[in-house]
Structure 1
Amino acid sequence: MSDYEFDVFISYRRDGNPYKWVRNHFHPRLKDHLADHLRHDPKVFIDEGIEVGSVWPDQLGEALNRTRILVPVFSPQYFRSRWCLAEWHSMAAREKLLDHSGLIYPVLFSDSDNFPSFARERSWRDLKKWNHPDPVFQQTVRWIDFLQEIEDVAIELAKRIDRVPPWKPDWPIERPDPPMPGMTPLPRF
């Protein structure tokens, strides 16, 4: 391969309400709306469909390496995930290397008071008003407003996608340090 494979990499914590919201609402609608604004079919990476037996950290790193824009879904859970932070710092390192901001497009799911300083220093798209994770949200009046907001997100992302610098095979990819294994207690006789 010699180019980008994905336009967008959605980075989110795989549990709780942000997880359900991304799966039920954000990912499918973003992909649909991006299709209306790109010259090509949009490719949005979400960590489903990784083959059984694959080394998933390698798969995530390869996908991130071949992605134009990172879309982190901000929540308190996001900043407690070593993997989410590794994805963030990988793309931030690429921005610094290129001296090109705009490769990270945060969306706010919840909170914001307890985020680390590096996250609070960035502007984000506030989607808290539409952070209902359950499918029944699609039957409410607010769903139409959510769709318009995702349309606006797609328009902004399409403009950024067109301005991303050419791909390089050696983009920095960070991985979280593995946790220290616990001590195995010695048996007592």
Structure 2
Amino acid sequence: MEKDLTLVPSSMLSTVSALGAQNMGAGKYDRADQILRCAMGIAVGFGVCVAVLIQFIAEPVVGLFTTDTMVVILGAQYIRGYIWDCIFAGVHFSFSGYFCAYGRSEISFIHNLIAILCVRIPGVYLTSKFFPDTLFPMGLATATGSLLSVIICVIFFGWLKRRERSRKKITSV
């Protein structure tokens, strides 16, 4: 079910990558930036709608996959925390598509690796130890990893834009 919920955010990666590369190849970097903003807007809008909706219907959604009452209760706890990842994943997937279009796919690798090693794995482990009676914090730990990815992506995006402006100044002199 998790993968179904990230279908829209992950499709933004492919969209931004293809359309961004086409515009960057044509020298239209401002249009590539606009594509990134539009993709993030779509992904965030979708993520917010789904995240809010799931807060109200988590049990019936999990119940589609099992009749075990305890699994439904625990699954609903987890998904109520995890679902916020749809918002953040949509943003960092959009940035990943942009970085690939820009020819800097290593940035996607870096932010994902840092998020997994520094937040997701330790966060899930720690929440399982500190909150053994609920899976909600474990779901939030996963979303927090994506939030870190978003922060890293914003920093790299700013760095790329500063480099781009510096190059323009040097070539215009």
Instruction: State the TM-score, normalized to the length of structure 1.
Output: 0.29
| Larger fraction in strand | 1
| Larger fraction in helix | 2
Of structures 1 and 2, the one scoring higher in RCO (CA 8 A, sep 6+) is 1
Instruction: State the TM-score, normalized to the length of structure 2.
Output: 0.30
